[in-house]
Amino acid sequence: METIKTRFAPSPTGHLHVGGARTALFNFLIARQAGGTFLLRIEDTDRSRHDESAIAKICEDLRWLGIEWDEGIEVGGPNGPYRQSERLDIYRRYLRRLLDEGRAYYAFDTAEELDAMRERSRAETGGFRYPRPERFAGEEEAERARAEGRPVVARIRCPDTDVTVADESFGEITIPAGEQEDFIIQKADGYPTFYLANVVDDELMGVNFVCRGQEFLDQTWRQAVLREALGFREPRLLHLPLIMDRHGRKLSKRDGDVDVHAFRRAGYLPEALVNFIALLGWRPGGDREKFTPAELVQEFKTERLSKANARFDREKLLSFNTDALAAAGEDRLLAALKDYLSLHSTPIPAGDDALLRAVLRACRGIRTFADLVAKCEVLFGPDDAFQYDPQAVAKVLEKGAGYETLAELRPRLAATDWTAEALEALLEAYGVEKGLKMGKIAQPLRVAVTGSTVSPSIYETLVFLGKEKTLVRISRCLAERSAG
């Protein structure tokens, strides 16, 4: 049995999209599980949509997710180059062969002419298929057309027989001879279309298992036609259900950030994203839904792929992330937090591991690293930079005896040891003495030193701050009161 070789072949238009990440993940899992090879190829045959920086972004996003490829862009391999724009001569050789054998032909229609033909034909018969010329134009005519400034494309001559492709998830799909159109395989700019380049590369690179989104299913026959014309082998085919947004429409960037990188920036853990993405179209069966990356390699089964569309549920992703954060060990959290901080500008000292570990411990229960920053940021910033939240001030300081409590507490704080234990003892003793519940003590303090009602436990908050900054901030709070 031949070793399985899968690939992910994105076109470089920006950061990796969650849909692309899902396709990459499944191809990766299929290869890993079979002890096969996973390849990464860049399909950059559309010069108008090309974004050179996107290649590095996609690679970075994949690596962040833990999806490593064995062969392809950036890592090399025996079948390169791995970007199609560097393989143009190869596609031309195959096109030449098709042309010489009468399996392909030149066409010179302009976009406007084609639009007109389509419009007329659809009005009359409801459909449109490019009318194959009686006689195929040769090189001389192509030259002449080019000289006249007309576009010159190459179209494949479809066979006059039905074409059937066998998909492992959706079954056999047959396209009757009468519904096949002589589609374009080389564009007027000399670049191959996706159909040609994709098929040639899969053959040359030894890809024998194609797994991609269902939006490709209805045009798989085109690749089958090309493979047949070129004498290529047919790979195993597996199409994945589509990923929909919350409204049930195909997931698009309009629905908010659906780039993997956006989730990284938002403070998500890659293992949570991977786990969640794995469930988009894959049904493990039973009640289990939490899987580590290693378990995914172990448990993933192509037989358990769904045919129904999956929905991208951000709420559930958030919940997965919350759980993953709670389940992760401190070393793992530290590394992930540092990655997060490296992407943002915050006053939290990203280089101080001991401090970061303490912050992590103080922030158990966060849902994303963004929560952690929102909660602790002000503790590490300047004492005079943060604003006092008017609502917090009104509710916690002005409504009760908040200011009085602060004024009374300040000298006691100034005289105590600065440890969580000592602070706890001090505040509790004060509470007993005054007959106050901890809420009446902790909240005024919290607002005084952070400007808001949200921070880690009051003891940890004060310890992070240090005695000096705590006293400065309490003074500032009291001063702002008198200032009105």
Partner RNA sequence: GGCCCCAUCGUCUAGUCAGGUCUAGGACAUCGGGUUUUCAUCCCGGUAACAGGGGUUCAAAUCCCCUUGGGGUCACCA
Question: What stretches of 177-309 show up as alpha helix (H) in DSSP?
Answer: 194-204, 220-230, 260-265, 270-278, 293-299
The amino acid at residue 334 is L
> How many residues would you count in the chain?
484
| Tokens describing residue 302 | 């192509």
Which of 79/453 has CB closer to RNA? 453
CB of 373 to RNA, least distance (A): 12
CB of 307 to RNA, least distance (A): 3
396 DSSP 8-state letter = I
Q: Is there a catalytic annotation at residue 434? A: no
CB of 482 to RNA, least distance (A): 25
- Confirm if 426 and 413 have CB atoms less than 8 A apart: yes
| Tokens describing residue 66 | 């833990």
Which of 53/252 has CB closer to RNA? 252
Which of 199/342 has CB closer to RNA? 199
Burial of 365 from C-beta contacts in 10 A (0-12 / 13-18 / 19+): exposed
Give the separation between CA 425 and CA 344, rounded to whole angstroms: 37
The gap from C-alpha 419 to its chain's centroid, in whole angstroms, comes to: 43
- Tokens 């862009």 correspond to 73
CB of 176 to RNA, least distance (A): 8
Which of 3/47 has CB closer to RNA? 47
At residue 382, what are phi and psi to the nearest 5 degrees? Answer: -65, 150
CB of 206 to RNA, least distance (A): 19
The amino acid at residue 415 is A
Which of 2/437 has CB closer to RNA? 437
Q: Are strands 153-156 and 104-107 parallel, antiparallel or unpaired?
A: antiparallel
Give the separation between CA 273 and CA 255, rounded to whole angstroms: 18
Give the separation between CA 152 and CA 217, rounded to whole angstroms: 28
- Confirm if 452 and 378 have CB atoms less than 8 A apart: yes
Catalytic residue among 250, 253, 301, 316: 253
| Tokens describing residue 318 | 């958030």
Closest to 65 (Cα-Cα) out of 11, 24, 8: 24
Which of 15/446 has CB closer to RNA? 446
| Tokens describing residue 16 | 């990796």
b/e code 216-245 from CB counts within 10 Å (16+ = b) = bbeebbbbbbbbebbebeebbbbbbbbbbb
CB of 463 to RNA, least distance (A): 11
Sign of the torsion angle spanned by Cα atoms 72, 75, 78, 84? positive
Which of 127/349 has CB closer to RNA? 127
Radius of gyration of the chain (CA): 31
Helix (H) or strand (E) holding 212: strand 209-213
| Beta-carbon count within 10 A of 63 CB | 13
CB of 20 to RNA, least distance (A): 9
CB of 360 to RNA, least distance (A): 13
Give the separation between CA 292 and CA 30, rounded to whole angstroms: 16
Which of 441/479 has CB closer to RNA? 441
The amino acid at residue 116 is A
Which of 3/164 has CB closer to RNA? 164
CB of 483 to RNA, least distance (A): 25
Catalytic residue IDs:
253
